[in-house]
Structures are given as C-alpha cells and as structure tokens.
Amino acid sequence: MAGESLYGRNGRSATLLLYVEPRTTDGQVPPASGLQAWYERFGLALALPGVLAEFLAKDLGLGTSDDPPAQLGVWLQSYHPLTTMVDPQELRTLPGSSPSNWFMGWTFASPDGRPGRETARDLLSQLCEYTLHLDAFEQKLDQISAAERPETTVKSTWEHRDLPVLAAVIRLMDETATGQVRISKVAEACGLSTDEVASAVEALNGTYLTRQKTLGDAGSWVISRPTDAARRAVGQWPH
C-alpha cells in the first residue's frame, strides 16, 4: 500500500494482518478460554502462511518463494492481566509474580523446522512462562499436545500437484504447437496419476485453463486455452 511504513518488514514480502477483538453474540467480552483452546487456535494460525501463499499463487497468479521465509506472529493484548483472555484453570502463578497484559510470539518456516503441533506447543509454553508466569505448566502442556485429535491443517495442493500439472500442460502445447492436450498425456509428462491430474485440472479450470469432459474416462478429457495468469504462474509471460 502506498505510504505504508516498511519498518520491521521485508519489502519483498506479502503481509497479512488479522485483527480480532473477541465478542459474544450480544457484543459482550467473552469468558477466558483454557489452554487447550489456545493450543488449537495457535495450530489454526500456523496454517495461515501456507493458505496465503496458495491464494497469491493460484488466485492472483503471483510467483512465491521461500526467500525470505514465511513467518507468523501472534500478539495478544488486554487492558487487564491476560488471564481475562487465557484461563490457566488449575495452574497457579509463581509466588511473587503477576500475569502480564500482553503476549507476543514469532515463528519462522524452515525446511528442517518442527511440525505445526510442536510449534503450537512452543508458543503456548512461551505464553505460560513469560506472560502468565505459571508454575509447573509443562505437564499440562504435555497432556494437551499428546491428546489424540484430528489434525487441523489446510493441505496445499499447489506446489506438488497443481503447479506441475499446469507447467506440463503449457510445455506440451508449446512443444506440439497445438491448442489442446488430453489428461492422459499430461499424466505421462508430469509423473502423476490420471486421477491426480484430473483433480488438478478441476481446481485450475476457469482461472488457468479450460477443461472439456468427454464420454470416456478422465484420461480422455481435453485441456485447452491456458490463460495469461497460467503462464505467469509457471514463470512464462504471455506470448
């Protein structure tokens, strides 16, 4: 945005800021949530960088990379001690300490980084130790992070499926100088199964290319008319 200060931010990065002021349906301040709820919220927040990258690449046709690496910041603030937002339940504050009214945590993506659940636990640990100053909280966090529950993640298909399919479609059309190609040929070219390519084409249809179904199986479907956004996405400007 024009005039926006870049202090503390990399000018080559896209920045997404989400401001949330919790309220009940009648506009009142909600009761404090327990550590379990905050662990799950941190886990959901950790999915946002991947979702943002997929939106930039798929919906806007912009190139993305891991330089600089994706990062996530969490900032909680209250006019009162943060126990008005985070309920420590049976845990007690260390003698001589009092909860702060704010918390800030940062995490950066890395190829050898830790899984999302472990990172969510690290953020929760920082909250307990440095903001709430809780005593003997590690065992409670172990119970929370070890509990069996469905993984709450948003799986991106862009890098490993959609983008390779899109690149193969454009390469085949350019090599053969034809305006269309069948899904079976794309599957051979990119090393994915016919079903995987068909799913990718369904996701890409309209924004990046045109898919025409036939009476046969998915391998016989016809792909045509890659858009300007498709060529930008694979690093090839429109001819």
Which residue ranges make up each domain of the chain? 33-146, 158-233
pLDDT over 90 percentage in the chain: 36
Q: What pLDDT is stored for residue 235 in this prediction? A: 75
Q: What pLDDT is stored for residue 196 in this prediction? A: 92
Mean pLDDT for 201-223 is 89
Mean pLDDT for 169-173 is 90
Q: Is the pLDDT of residue 83 over 90?
A: yes
Q: Is the pLDDT of residue 28 over 80?
A: yes
Q: What pLDDT is stored for residue 56 in this prediction? A: 82
Confidence of residue 59 (pLDDT cuts 50, 70, 90): confident
> Of the segments 19-28, 74-83, 139-148, which one has the largest average pLDDT value?
74-83
Cβ-proximal residues to 180 (8 Å cutoff; 6+ apart), any chain = 173, 222, 223, 224
Q: What pLDDT is stored for residue 113 in this prediction? A: 75
Q: What pLDDT is stored for residue 151 in this prediction? A: 52
Confidence of residue 149 (pLDDT cuts 50, 70, 90): low
pLDDT tens string 118-144: 899 999 999 999 999 999 999 999 888
> Please, what CATH class does the domain formed by 158-233 belong to?
mainly alpha
Q: Which is it for the CA torsion 198, 200, 202, 208, positive or negative?
A: negative
Q: What pLDDT is stored for residue 3 in this prediction? A: 45
Q: Judging by DSSP bridges, how do beta strands 33-34 and 71-77 pair with one another?
A: unpaired
